[in-house]
Structure formats: C-alpha cells, structure tokens
Amino acid sequence: MDNQRIILFFALSFVLLMLWQAWQRDFGEHETTSQPATANESPAPASSDVPVSPPDEIQTMTEQTASTPETPAGPPEALKSAQRIHVVTDLLDVEIDTLGGDLRQADLIEYPVSRDSPNVPFQLMQDKGQHIFIAQSGLLSQQRQQAPDHHARYSAERTEYRLANAAQQLTVPLKWTGPSGISVIKTFTFHRNSYVIDVAHEVHNDSTAAWKGHQYNQFQRSKPGEDEKSRFIYTYTGGVIYSEEDKYQKIKFDAMEDKDLSRDIKNGWAAMIQHYFLSAWIPSRDQEDHYYSKAPADRPYILGLVSPEVTINAGDSGNFQSRIYIGPKEQHRLEKVAPGLKLTVDYGVLTVIAQPLFWLLEKIHGLIGNWGWSIIILTLIIKLAFYKLSETSYKSMANMRRMQPKIQSLRERYGDDRQRMSQAMMEMYKKEKINPLGGCLPILVQIPVFISLYWVLLESVELRQAPFMFWINDLSVKDPYYILPLLMGATMFLQQQLNPAPPDPIQAKVMKMLPIIFTAFFAFFPSGLVLYWVANSMLSILQQWYITRRIEKAAAKPT
C-alpha cells in the first residue's frame, strides 16, 4: 500500500465525521424510546398545551378543548403572564410567574453570554420572542378546579428574593386556594452553589371528601431556528429522557411531531438540552412516572412527566416533591444530581474512550490552570501512549520512501503491465522484509481516539470562553485571525514533504489539495480543536523526522 494512504486515512476519518454530523443535522433518524409512543386519535389544537397521556384527568382536559379551532400558521403567540417574582442566588437569576408558578426566565450568572459582555449572563430560559423555553409544574385532578395547573393564579408575599450572604438556601412560597376547601402551597427552594431547585406542592385538604391527583412537570420549548444552528459544527438541541433499562435516549423535535411519547419510567428524568447547557426535571426516587411529549401546531414543543396518583383524605395534607436542574453541563455537578445525567455531555458512541480522556484533561488543568496548555500536554501524553504504534507506522513509511528509486525503476521496466509489476514489487518487499500494510493499522487504531478527543473538546463546557494565550482568548470559538488553521495547513504540508510523492498523478493532486481543504474546514472550528490538531501534527512531524533519519542512516551504513 502506498505511503500516502496513511494520511488519507486521517482525511477519510475527518470527512466521515463531517458527513455524519451533516446527516445527523438534516436527515437523522428520530430517536425515541424502545416502547412505541401512542399517537393521538384526534390531534389537539394549538390552544391546548396540556399533553395527552394516560391519566384520565389529562385526557379530559384535552377533550374539553378538542373543538377549539386551530390558529393560522404564523409566529407563536406570546405566553400569558401575571406577576413576576425575581429570585437571585449566587449562581442563578430567575423569574417565576405567578400564573402557574412557571419558571419563565433563567440567567446563569457565572456564564457570560460572551467575553465581550462579561456582565451579561447567558440566558438559558425565556418566555419572549421566537425562542420560547420555560419550565412548568402543577397538579391535576379529576375536577380541574380542585388542583392548580400551569393556568392557575398563585399569590406571593414578595416580588423579589435574594440569597443572603450567610444563607445556604432560599425558599420562595406561592399560595393557591381553590373553591372547595383545597389549598396548595407551591415552594421553590434554591441552594447555595447549586443549579438544582427543589419544587414542592403541599396540598391541604380542608374539604369534606378525599382529594385525588397527580403532579406533573414539563418543558415547553420552541424548535431551534436556522439562526441558532452552526453551519460547521453539529451539536444536538432537543429532548432527552433517561431510564434504567435503556439509559440515555434522544427525543427529537421531529419525532415529537410524528407521534407523542407515552412511556412509564421508574427512576428516570426528562431534559431539554443544547450545546453546553441543559434543564432537567428529576422526579422523586422509586416512583413510576408517566413520560409524555406533544407537538401542538404553531406552539412550543412539550416534554414532561406525570407522577402516580395520590389520595389525600379530608382534613389531611400531602406533599409532592421534584427537582429541576437549570445550568451548565458540568460533569462533576451532574453526576451528583441524578444517575445518568452526565450523559447529557454527549460524546456519542465513543463515550467509553472520551470519558477517560476528559478525566485526564481535567486533571492536567487542575495542575496547570490553562485549558490550552492542558490540550497540548494531553496530546503529548496520547502521542507517548501510541509511540510504539506510530513508530511502526513511520518505520514502514521510511522504508517505503527508501525503496522509491527501485519502485520507480520497476514502473519504467514493466510500463502498463500492472500484473507483472505488482508481482515484482511483492518480491522486492519480501526480499527487503518490508510490510507495505505496516503503516496503516497503527493509524486505524488511533482514529477512535482522535474522534473521541474531538467530541471532548467540542462538548465540554469547561472550554467555553476559556483563554489560552496571546490572541486566543476563547478556545470554544474560531481563531479570530485564522492563525491556528494556517499553522495546521502548514504542518500538513510539511508532513507530506517527509513522505515520498505518490506515483499516481491523480493521487498526487489530491494530496496537494488536502492541506488547503483542511485549512478551509478548520478555519471555522473552535480554536481548541485546531490547537489539538496543530500540536498533534507538530509532534508527529518530530517523531517521523527522527525515525526516518535513523532508518536512512542505518541503510547508508555498509553491510
């Protein structure tokens, strides 16, 4: 096999990765749960935002609005609102609406929207404009007036709450009183140094009959517009559910349009995720909840879960508990919140390789405090780990380069007789003890590691707005001056000079174009990824130069 094919393997792996991303973005299969979702017998109108699911109360609520005419196509109508309650902790700045007690806005204080605006926090949730993303929770009962859903109006004692300097938690109570002796206190509990919010519904039954009902938690989110998508990098935005049986599963917006999710899960969770950030509803442990989705026409998509029915006798009280995580995909936080939640840092099928790489990268950063240098050191460690494999590859390439004059002589001798030429070349390889395939297998073994590290550098929120040095002040965005991509192209060109020129003119032209093509691709990639490639290429050049020089010197010695 020609030496240049080794480089082509890298190029092929990169192209396949890009094709996979494009396919996922445009034509990916709808990933749903292993159990079939239940389709609506009659689609709900745009005005209904309560999903169809098995509990009779939800079915009844949907049927009550079935005759409402659908609204014409157009931008989604603004969500109704009542009084806003402003809550500020050390990490979160949120707004709660007394209409339903919805979480309508959530800003992440520790994550600026950009380095140019360090005092403007990233807004993960909002209820205005085209991009709606809110969290709702409420109670459902056979008689709607006996349970506050997300259309009910709560009352609040204050409109602003702030976590005191010495306090470890902050509670925000809302109260609802029904017409039949049922009252509910909905309490949000915020914690210091935490993105987890406890949500409780305390039901007081002062009526003369038993109360039966469910708690539900759901997200409403608009489908991402074209302005939110990257043209060069694909990252998933959409729904996710987790179960102990099937683990992490994506519920895409297109899948919600095809049919409603309908599944019972114990010890699971439901989330809406995007690049670097997520929000997840985590129900109480050891209870089986019903998970559902809905795609109302011209309205935000819905993903949520309903708790089992609870009976509260007359004169008694009962409590529903759940939690919501609103924040970044910091793995050390996520793994403490719920089993499997750190899988939202989506490394794909190579997670088993990517997770140890991230662990090592994080440990290196803990020692030196700079993510750019951590990437370079990790690249060096990977090169050392694969040194022997790379050495085998470069030895094969060096030997093939040494044999180029003899190969050219065979080509001139046999001309177009490819069969005789191949036989002569194989005899020469056997005589010289050269394995023409020796350079390929080591490269193939390293490709999964390369792709895994690609996803680690792309998915890890720790690299967001992380500075390196000089002009690189954010490793998660492209190099503003395109210096790293140009360096990468130069190193690829230099690597080609260490290898013999391909005898096939077409292949030679392809090889000459690769540095230009890759430079154009990487010009728009996050600079952290390009930094890894440049570091890897430079180390490869040093290793290849050293091994090639050693072999050529040994061959030049008289026998």
CATH number at residue 261: 2.70.98.90
Within a domain: 169: yes
d(CA 99, CA 28): 37
Q: 465 and 329, same structural domain?
A: no
Q: What is the pLDDT of residue 314?
A: 94
- Check if the beta carbon of residue 270 is closer than 8 Å to that of residue 239: yes
Whole-angstrom Cα Rg for the chain? 30
Within a domain: 24: no
Within a domain: 25: no
Q: 319 and 426, same structural domain?
A: no
Within a domain: 385: yes
pLDDT band at 436 (very low <50, low <70, confident <90, very high): low
Which residue intervals of 319-370 are DSSP H helices?
Answer: 331-337, 351-368
Q: 330 and 390, same structural domain?
A: no
d(CA 284, CA 268): 9
Q: 327 and 237, same structural domain?
A: yes
- Token pair 């694969």 in the structure block, residue: 386
56-71: per-residue pLDDT in tens?
Answer: 444 433 333 332 233 2
- Token pair 């209870």 in the structure block, residue: 287
- Check if the beta carbon of residue 468 is closer than 8 Å to that of residue 527: yes
Of the candidates 48, 46, 94, 50, the one whose C-alpha atom is nearest the C-alpha of residue 72 is 46
Within a domain: 443: yes
Which token pair is 344? 């939202």
Q: 361 and 307, same structural domain?
A: no
Q: Which of 47-61, 376-390, 437-451 has the lowest mean pLDDT?
A: 47-61
> In the predicted model, is pLDDT for residue 435 greater than 70?
no
Which token pair is 535? 């570091």
Q: In what order do the strands lie in the sheet with 182-191?
A: 169-177, 182-191, 196-205, 317-328, 277-283, 269-273, 238-243, 247-251
Q: 271 and 388, same structural domain?
A: no
> 322, 346, 370 — which closes off a domain?
346
Paired with 84 in beta bridges are 97
Q: 284 and 369, same structural domain?
A: no
Q: What is the pLDDT of residue 44?
A: 33
Domain that holds residue 123: 31-225+233-346
pTM: 0.81
What value does the mean pLDDT take over residues 42-51?
37
Distance of CA 96 to the CA centre of its chain: 27
Domain count, the chain: 2
Q: 266 and 360, same structural domain?
A: no
Which token pair is 366? 């803990």
Within a domain: 366: yes
Amino acid in the structure at residue 280: A
Q: Which of 27-41, 96-110, 221-235 has the lowest mean pLDDT?
A: 27-41
Q: 491 and 372, same structural domain?
A: yes
> 315, 346, 377 — which closes off a domain?
346
Q: 329 and 218, same structural domain?
A: yes
Quickly list DSSP for 479-509. -TT-HHHHHHHHHHHHHHHTSPPPSSHHHHH
Q: What is the pLDDT of residue 449?
A: 83
> In the predicted model, is pLDDT for residue 135 greater than 90?
yes
Within a domain: 26: no
Of the candidates 458, 110, 474, the one whose C-alpha atom is nearest the C-alpha of residue 275 is 458
Q: 113 and 165, same structural domain?
A: yes
Q: 43 and 184, same structural domain?
A: yes
- Check if the beta carbon of residue 463 is closer than 8 Å to that of residue 371: yes
> 346, 363, 391 — which closes off a domain?
346
